[in-house]
Amino acid sequence: MKTDTSRLLFERAKTRIPGGVNSPVRAFKAVGAAPRFIAGANGSRIWDVDGNEYIDYVGSWGPLILGHAHPEVVTAVIAAVEKGTSYGANCEVEIQLAEKICQLMPEIDMVRMVNSGTEATMSAIRLARAYTKRDKIIKFAGCYHGHGDSFLIQAGSGATTLGIPSSPGVTEAIAGDTLIAHYNDIDSVKNLVENFPQQIAALIVEPVAGNMGVVLPEPGFLGSLRQIADDHNFLLIFDEVITGFRLALGGAQTYYHVKPDLTTLGKIIGGGLPVGAYGGSTEIMEMLAPVGPVYQAGTLSGNPLALSAGLKTLELLEQKDVYPKLREKASYIFNGMAENFKRAGIPVVANAVESMGCFFFKQGLVTNYDDATKSDIKLFGRYHQLMLEHGVYLAPSQFEATFLSLAHSKEDLDRTLEVHGRVCRGLKQK
């Protein structure tokens, strides 16, 4: 496979952009391959600048549940752009998207739009601290809530991929207000609550962890978090930046029937454009300025292009049978891959729910960060490289998810399984 142009561009990028990338995992450092520069995308496919075509299972890290350049989303964005790109003033699509989110996620009475998931989580904990008049938050090792200082402590995603889960530059004072529990381990939460009485403002959790690879909540885990938050008067925040509108129309909270106090969103609600949002009850949300004293603002917040793309995406997701179709595609590919691994004698742990999943290169189970980080990263790197060379584009890290979209056809899935079978046999022989 020819990669000369991508390589040249990467060298050029490195002279002006740190590491040549605007988000670290894109450097492909963990998998030892040359990062591809993308020239275009449509449906389930992406093309690089060397003319190679790939079946894409990254989907821009989750937003593209309808596939790339969905015609109706493109039309909505063009219609919006023709009316101007940004006003720094109110426009109707802000209300339309807010109404749609509140309709689909019944725990949200009011929602504030921001520009990224990072902004959403940072703002949500500020609000939680103001509401409870407490300082500390609990997060789980391996969960990733964007790159806000409070969250870069035992963080997953690129931070784990690059071996810097707790970043320099975060002050001790800030780190001291973030307490770390262990995913699927309720006792670890109870211990923190007992050790820091009346000090915890909020517990934030990815209801399905998607940034230490995919790790599912064990039965009762999310419900127990709800109970502990109620018993100790702190807020439960579901970070649904990945799971929102991915697991189900109402996100993980409707899928698992657990009601958070605040929800953070991003990815799908921007249809592939930069966006984030956070929402909850009127009582909590009206603490935000200009109604209340908690400050948060943004020049491009509520941007009409992003919100038009997001609104159209949600409208399309409301159509009949969307989630069963996604589930069917996901089961087909994940089961097929699991079978290929098994036939080749490569031990993996398959974790998947609805249209997101991953394979950990290890034996046993993966129920938390410790389990996930025991995976054979080198083997994953070789696997990734071979899949890429054969035209299948997976996230370049053991600690990220594989995403299905409605655009993945049966032909795409069969082609992927055929490549995957060959890659598995090749991996075993090495």
State the catalytic residues. 144, 239, 267
CB of 58 to ligand HOZ, least distance (A): 8
CB of 158 to ligand HOZ, least distance (A): 5
**357 class by beta-carbon count within 10 Å (0-12 exposed, 13-18 middle, 19+ buried):** buried
What string of DSSP letters covers 77-126? HHHHHTT-S--SS--HHHHHHHHHHHHHSTT-SEEEEESSHHHHHHHHHH
CB of 8 to ligand HOZ, least distance (A): 21
User: For residue 357, which phi and psi values (nearest 5 degrees)?
Assistant: -170, 175
Span between the terminal Cα atoms of the chain, in Å: 20
Which of 211/368 has CB closer to ligand HOZ? Answer: 211
Tell which positions 239-278 bind ligand HOZ, by CB under 6 A.
none
Stretch that binds ligand HOZ, among 19-27, 213-221, 261-269, 282-290 (CB under 6 A): 19-27
List the one residue out of 110, 88, 114, 133 whose CA is nearest residue 291: 110
How many chain residues interact with ligand HOZ (CB under 6 A)?
8
Q: In what order do the strands lie in the sheet with 402-403?
A: 349-353, 356-360, 402-403
Stretch that binds ligand HOZ, among 23-31, 104-112, 300-308, 363-371 (CB under 6 A): 23-31
CB of 368 to ligand HOZ, least distance (A): 18
User: Which one-letter amino acid corresponds to residue 112?
Assistant: R
Stretch that binds ligand HOZ, among 21-29, 182-190, 251-259, 307-315 (CB under 6 A): 21-29
Which of 67/266 has CB closer to ligand HOZ? Answer: 266
Q: Does 211 bind ligand HOZ (CB under 6 A)?
A: yes
Q: Does 41 bind ligand HOZ (CB under 6 A)?
A: no
Member of 63, 142, 158, 207 binding ligand HOZ (CB under 6 A): 158
Residue closest to ligand HOZ (Cβ): 23
CB 340 within 8 A of CB 422: no
Which of 26/374 has CB closer to ligand HOZ? Answer: 26
Q: Does 61 bind ligand HOZ (CB under 6 A)?
A: yes
Which of 158/279 has CB closer to ligand HOZ? Answer: 158
CB 361 within 8 A of CB 380: yes
Q: Does 317 bind ligand HOZ (CB under 6 A)?
A: no
Give the number of other CB atoms < 10 A from CB of residue 185. 17
CB of 294 to ligand HOZ, least distance (A): 26
Member of 3, 9, 10, 25 binding ligand HOZ (CB under 6 A): 25
Rounded Cα–Cα distance for residues 185 and 38 (Å): 41
Rounded Cα–Cα distance for residues 361 and 372 (Å): 9
Member of 400, 403, 406, 423 binding ligand HOZ (CB under 6 A): 400
CB 145 within 8 A of CB 204: yes
Give the residue carrying structure tokens 């890659």: 423
Q: Does 26 bind ligand HOZ (CB under 6 A)?
A: yes
Where in 226-273 does DSSP place strands (E)? 235-239, 262-266
Rounded Cα–Cα distance for residues 246 and 244 (Å): 5
| DSSP conformation class of 209 | B
SS3 of residue 371 by DSSP: helix
Which of 60/227 has CB closer to ligand HOZ? Answer: 60
Q: Does 161 bind ligand HOZ (CB under 6 A)?
A: no
SS3 of residue 309 by DSSP: helix
Member of 115, 154, 157, 264 binding ligand HOZ (CB under 6 A): 157
Q: Does 402 bind ligand HOZ (CB under 6 A)?
A: no
Is the bond into 396 cis (omega within 30 degrees of 0)?
Answer: no
CB of 146 to ligand HOZ, least distance (A): 8
User: For residue 71, which phi and psi values (nearest 5 degrees)?
Assistant: -55, -40
CB of 123 to ligand HOZ, least distance (A): 18
CB of 422 to ligand HOZ, least distance (A): 28
Rounded Cα–Cα distance for residues 140 and 206 (Å): 9
Residues near ligand HOZ, by CB under 6 A: 23, 25-26, 61, 157-158, 211, 400
